[in-house]
Structure 1
Amino acid sequence: MYKVVKKRELTDNIYLMDIEAPRVAKSAKPGQFIIIKNDDKGERIPLTIADYNRLEGTVTIVFQAVGRGTKELANFEEGDYVADFVGPLGQPSEFIHENLEDLKNKNIIFIAGGVGAAPVYPQVKWMHENGIDCDVIVGSRTKDLLILEDEMKNVAGNLYISTDDGTYGFNGRVTDCLKYLVEEKGNKYDHAIVIGPMIMMKFMSLLTKELNIPTTVSLNPIMVDGTGMCGACRVTVGGKVKFACVDGPEFDGHLVDFDESMRRQTMYKSEEGRSQLKIEEGDTHNHGGCGCKVE
């Protein structure tokens, strides 16, 4: 059992929780995720690690209450216990393996859309703790849906807020904001790290390719089971089949087939769709856990 030691509603229907999980906190790295279960019979919910405190033995998660599992989790209060909290899982962010001096010589920009601000935060924090200043764009549809602004201000070199409706900060989408920074302000970037909804990552990757900025995206939003068995997070990257939960969640954004992945997400929701995917994908579909009959 794992204790909820802190709970905060960041905005409507989006929650932050600190979970007491010392072993996970000890090993956690930016870019990784956990799987949480509310009770013994509950569904497995993969969530990107939003922060961790090794001294206090806590791991921070941020989630939007949209499905049954996350809606149930939103009802937990401080002092309550969840049944299971497994991690850290997935590959950590690639930059933590780079030479620090090399990183300090790069101009890196992080771009977060919506709840994507949560997994971006620990990466920017890691950069800050290692003496590396990064630009950060945080976008949301409107000011009321913006999360973690104060936390991000404390670790970002330059923070740019972008709202689709212009109610706060830059008036426009995160793609518009990046284009403005590069083409109007003359900013130059050696690498972009983009996390948010799939459609946002698709169009941001198209833009950064046009701007000749190498780009990393996190495909955590498409994960379901978190072990590679369910097949929901199957994605084609550079012509090769990958699974976001075991091979990622981070990939080269310029190599990800976003259209295929988003189509799979829609089809995966029904039994008929999963059956059709089995036919289309042939032998490469046989992961064995999505409910399709594997011969």
Structure 2
Amino acid sequence: MYPIVKKEKLSDKIFLMVVKAPRVAAGCLPGQFIIVKIDEEGERIPLTICDYDRAEGTITIVFQTVGASTERMALLNEGDAFADFVGPLGQPSELCLEEDLEETKKKSIVFIAGGVGTAPVYPQVKWLKEHGVKTTVIIGARSKDILFYEDEMREVADELYLATDDGSYGFHGNGCQQLQALVDSGKKYDHCVAIGPMIMMKFVCLLTKELGIPTVVSMNPIMVDGTGMCGACRLVVGDEVKFACVDGPEFDGHLVDFDQAMARAKQYKTEEGRALLKQQEGDTHHGGCGNCGGDE
């Protein structure tokens, strides 16, 4: 069992939990994720790691209630425990690899976080700060009441910009518009990381492609099983088929086919849709393990 040592409500539907998981905390890096199960009958829920404390043996997760399983999670309190807490899974962020640190220090890096995407952005920015790399962070949200981690991000980012669609706090506009405004003011960036809803990452990539800024995105939003067994997170990157959970979750955003990924994710939710995808995709339909047998 994996006890919850802290719970905090960050906004109406967004919750933070700190979970005792020493083995995960000992080996994780920014960009990776875990899979959590409330109990033996519970759904497997992949969540990107928001923070970790190796000395305390804890992992911080942030989640938004969007369905029955996350609603059940939100009912748990300090002292309760998860039946399973598996990780670290996925590939670490390429920015957080010590062998490339000197090259990373030469880059002017901007992060754009949308909504709950603030959670996986934070550990990357924190790691870079600890290793002497300067960063700019843009956090975007629909309104002020769903912004979170402002104070924590301000401690680790060299520059922090807040943007709200309704203008209730900070810049009046979305993350793309804030980035454009910064570029128009003379700021220059040579690397971007965008993490948030699929539609937000798509439009960030359209903009950064115009601006000539290489961009990495996290495809965590389309993951379901998290181990390559279900094939739900199949996507096309350039001319290759990839699986977000085993090959990512981070990819070159300018090569990701967002329209295909979003349409596929919607279609995958129905039995009829899965059958059609199996027919259309042939041998590439099922997950990244190559041995799961898929729906058979």
Which TM-score band applies after superposition, normalised by the shorter structure?
over 0.9
- Is 2:163–2:175's contact at 8 Å kept on the other side of the alignment? yes
Corresponding position: 1:124 with 2:125: yes
- Structure 1 residue matching 2:78: 3-state secondary structure: coil
Q: Which residue in the other structure is 1:77 paired with? A: 77
Q: Which residue in the other structure is 1:233 paired with? A: 233
Q: Which residue in the other structure is 1:265 paired with? A: 265
Q: Which residue in the other structure is 1:180 paired with? A: 181
CA RMSD of the aligned region, Å?
1.2
**Letter matched to residue 179 of structure 1:** Q
How far did 1:162 drift?
0.5
Superimposed CA distance per residue, residues 169-196 of structure 1 (whole angstroms, 9 cap, x where no aligned partner) = 000011100011112x111111000000
Question: What is the percent sequence identity of the aligned residues?
Answer: 64
- Is 1:194–1:217's contact at 8 Å kept on the other side of the alignment? yes
How far did 1:57 drift?
0.5
Q: Which residue in the other structure is 2:295 paired with? A: 292
- Is 2:229–2:286's contact at 8 Å kept on the other side of the alignment? no
- Structure 1 residue matching 2:139: 3-state secondary structure: strand
Superimposed CA distance per residue, residues 213-249 of structure 1 (whole angstroms, 9 cap, x where no aligned partner) = 0000000011000011111100000111000000000
Q: Which residue in the other structure is 2:106 paired with? A: 105
From the superposition, tell whether residues 33 and 290 of structure 1 become closer, same or farther in structure 2 (CA, over 3 Å).
farther
- Is 1:128–1:156's contact at 8 Å kept on the other side of the alignment? yes
Q: Which residue in the other structure is 2:195 paired with? A: 195
- Is 2:14–2:62's contact at 8 Å kept on the other side of the alignment? yes
Q: Which residue in the other structure is 2:25 paired with? A: 25
- Is 1:231–1:290's contact at 8 Å kept on the other side of the alignment? no
Corresponding position: 1:158 with 2:180: no
**Letter matched to residue 140 of structure 2:** G
- Structure 1 residue matching 2:295: 3-state secondary structure: coil
- Is 1:46–1:225's contact at 8 Å kept on the other side of the alignment? yes
Using the alignment, how far apart are the partners of 2:106 and 2:260 within structure 1?
Answer: 36
- Is 2:90–2:246's contact at 8 Å kept on the other side of the alignment? yes
TM-score for both structures, normalised by structure 1: 0.97
How far did 1:34 drift?
0.2
**Letter matched to residue 75 of structure 1:** L
Q: Which residue in the other structure is 2:35 paired with? A: 35
How far did 1:211 drift?
0.3
Q: How many residues align?
A: 292
- Is 2:4–2:20's contact at 8 Å kept on the other side of the alignment? yes
Unaligned segments of structure 1, at least 5 residues: none
Using the alignment, how far apart are the partners of 2:8 and 2:240 within structure 1?
Answer: 40
Using the alignment, how far apart are the partners of 1:71 and 1:125 within structure 2?
Answer: 29
Using the alignment, how far apart are the partners of 2:75 and 2:240 within structure 1?
Answer: 40
- Structure 1 residue matching 2:181: 3-state secondary structure: helix
- Structure 1 residue matching 2:61: 3-state secondary structure: strand
**Letter matched to residue 117 of structure 1:** T
Using the alignment, how far apart are the partners of 2:295 and 2:87 within structure 1?
Answer: 27
**Letter matched to residue 134 of structure 1:** T
How far did 1:280 drift?
1.2
- Is 1:189–1:213's contact at 8 Å kept on the other side of the alignment? yes
**Letter matched to residue 295 of structure 2:** C
- Is 2:171–2:178's contact at 8 Å kept on the other side of the alignment? yes
How far did 1:101 drift?
2.6
Using the alignment, how far apart are the partners of 2:100 and 2:91 within structure 1?
Answer: 18
- Structure 1 residue matching 2:8: 3-state secondary structure: strand
Using the alignment, how far apart are the partners of 2:283 and 2:39 within structure 1?
Answer: 35
Using the alignment, how far apart are the partners of 1:290 and 1:122 within structure 2?
Answer: 36
Select between 90-99 and 70-79 the one with higher mean Cα deviation.
90-99
- Structure 2 residue matching 1:95: 3-state secondary structure: helix
Q: Which residue in the other structure is 1:2 paired with? A: 2
- Is 2:118–2:195's contact at 8 Å kept on the other side of the alignment? yes
How far did 1:291 drift?
6.3
- Is 2:286–2:293's contact at 8 Å kept on the other side of the alignment? no
- Is 1:275–1:292's contact at 8 Å kept on the other side of the alignment? no
- Is 1:4–1:17's contact at 8 Å kept on the other side of the alignment? yes
Superimposed CA distance per residue, residues 120-159 of structure 1 (whole angstroms, 9 cap, x where no aligned partner) = 0000000111111100000000000101111101000000
